[in-house]
Structure 1
Amino acid sequence: MKPPTLMRVGVVAVAAVLFMLVLGWWQTRDGDRQAAGILPLPINQMSFALTDQSGDTVQPKDWLGRPTMVFFGFTWCPDICPTTLSDISIWLEEIGPEADRMNTVLISVDPGRDTPEILGDYLSNFDPRIIGLTGPLPQIEQAVDGFRASFRKVPQDDGDYTMDHTAGVFLFDADGRFVSIIDYHEDYRYAVPKIRRALE
C-alpha cells in the first residue's frame, strides 16, 4: 500500500476542521435556543400580587414605565442577601438621582418568616429606594416562575431551615423587557454599566 500523499492528508485535515466547525455551530445554535427558553418573561406577562413593607399591594403592571431591578432573597439569609443588598446600595449611590427612576425590589422567598414589618426593619439597613415584597407562597411561586428563578427550603440539623435561591439581580427596561442579569458579587465595574443600560 502506498503511503498517503501530502495532498490527501491536507484534504482529510480540512474536512475534519469543517466537520468540527459545523458541529460546533449546531451545538451553539441548540444551546442558544435552550437559553432563550429560560429568559425571564417580560414584566407585562407576569402575574402575581405581593405586599410591600408599607402594606400596599404591588403587581408587575405597577412597575411598567420605569426601569426595574429585582433580587430574590430572605431576611434570615446569612451572607448572599446582605452582601447583594449592600452591593445594590453602592450601585444606586454611584448612579445617583438617576436611580430614583428605578423600581428596586427584593422579593422574599421565605414568606413564613418575612412579614412586611420584618422586611421593613431589615431593609432599613440598606438604600431606602429598595422595596421589599412578601405574600402568600403561591404568589411568591408565581413571581419566581415569571423570572425563571428558583428557590427551595433546606432543612438543617438543628430543626431550623434555610433557603436556597437564585442569587442574580434581574434588570428590565421601562417597557418591562429583560435587559440583563447581574451575577452574585459581580465586579462593580461591570454591574453599574448594566444598570445604566436599563435606565437608557
Structure 2
Amino acid sequence: MKHTFLTAGLVALLAACQPSAQFLNKDITGSGLKTETPLTAADGENFQLNQASPQVTAVFFGFTQCPDVCPTTMGQMKLVMDELGADADKLRVVFVSVDPERDTREILKQYTSTFNPKFIGASTDLANTQKLARDYQITFEKVGTGPNYMVNHTANSYLIDRAGKTRVSIPYNTDAKTIAHDIKQLLK
C-alpha cells in the first residue's frame, strides 16, 4: 500500500514538472470552443474540425470574395508553413467558408490552392454554417444584395491540437513567427 502511494506521488510530481505550453497568442484551452458540425472539403472528403488528427489544425472562417482580411490571413498561413520548415507537414490549414451560397467546392479548391495546394477549403450548408458559428462564437452577416454582396465576419484564426481541442485564438494580422511559435508548442 505504501509503495502505491509513493508511486502515485512520483507520477504526480513528474506531471507537475512537465512544462505547460507557453503561447504568445491567447490561450483558450478552457473555452470549450468545439463543434461536431460536419464539413465537406473541396476534394469531397467529409471531416470535423475537432476530431483527433495527426496534425495541428489552424482554422479560419472567411469567404473567397473577401477583399482584404481573408487573403491576408491565408497569406500569413503560407508564411507560417515556411516558418515551420520541416514541421510544416504537421500543420493542417483549414479555410471554412461563411458564404456557402457562392463558395462551391471548386471555388474553394482554387482559392486555397492559390496560397498552398495542401490548404483545405471546406464548407457546409447555411444552417450548419450558422451552427458552426455559434459553436465557435464567431459572427458573420451578409451585407448588401445582388451578386456582389459582402460578408462581415470574425477575423480570428484558431489552433486545434492533435487531440481535437481548441487551444489558441490568433488575432487578425498576427505575424507568421508568432503563429509558428504557438504551433510548435502544440507539437511538443
TM-score (norm. length: structure 1):
0.72
The residue aligned with 1:39 is 31
CA–CA separation in structure 1 for the residues paired with 2:118 and 2:108: 13
Percent of pairs with identical residues = 35
CA–CA separation in structure 1 for the residues paired with 2:84 and 2:143: 36
- 1:170 is aligned to 2:158: yes
Structure 2 unaligned runs (5+)? 1-27
Q: Offset of 1:63 from its aligned partner?
A: 4.4
Aligned Cα root-mean-square deviation (Å): 2.3
Which has the larger displacement, 80-89 or 129-138?
129-138
The residue aligned with 1:87 is 76
Identify the structure with bigger relative contact order (alpha carbons < 8 Å, sequence gap 6+): 2
The residue aligned with 2:5 is none
- 1:68 is aligned to 2:60: no
Judge conservation of contact 2:37–2:132 (CA < 8 Å) in 1.
yes
- 1:56 is aligned to 2:48: no
Matched residue type, 2:129: I
Cα distance change, pair 59–178 in 1 and its aligned pair in 2 (3 A)? closer
Matched residue type, 1:39: S
- 1:113 is aligned to 2:102: yes
1:117-162 alpha-carbon deviations (Å, 9 max, x no partner): 0101111211222101012011112222222211111116x77310
Judge conservation of contact 1:53–1:131 (CA < 8 Å) in 2.
yes
The residue aligned with 2:148 is 160
Q: Offset of 1:59 from its aligned partner?
A: 2.1
Q: Which of the two has greater helix per residue? A: 1
CA–CA separation in structure 2 for the residues paired with 1:87 and 1:70: 12
CA–CA separation in structure 2 for the residues paired with 1:92 and 1:40: 27
CA–CA separation in structure 1 for the residues paired with 2:147 and 2:115: 30
Q: Offset of 1:76 from its aligned partner?
A: 0.2
1:151-184 alpha-carbon deviations (Å, 9 max, x no partner): 111116x773101111111012111222212211
Judge conservation of contact 2:51–2:164 (CA < 8 Å) in 1.
no
Matched residue type, 2:70: C
Cα distance change, pair 178–133 in 1 and its aligned pair in 2 (3 A)? same
Structure 1 unaligned runs (5+)? 1-35
Counterpart of 2:168 in 1: which secondary structure?
A: strand
The residue aligned with 2:186 is 198
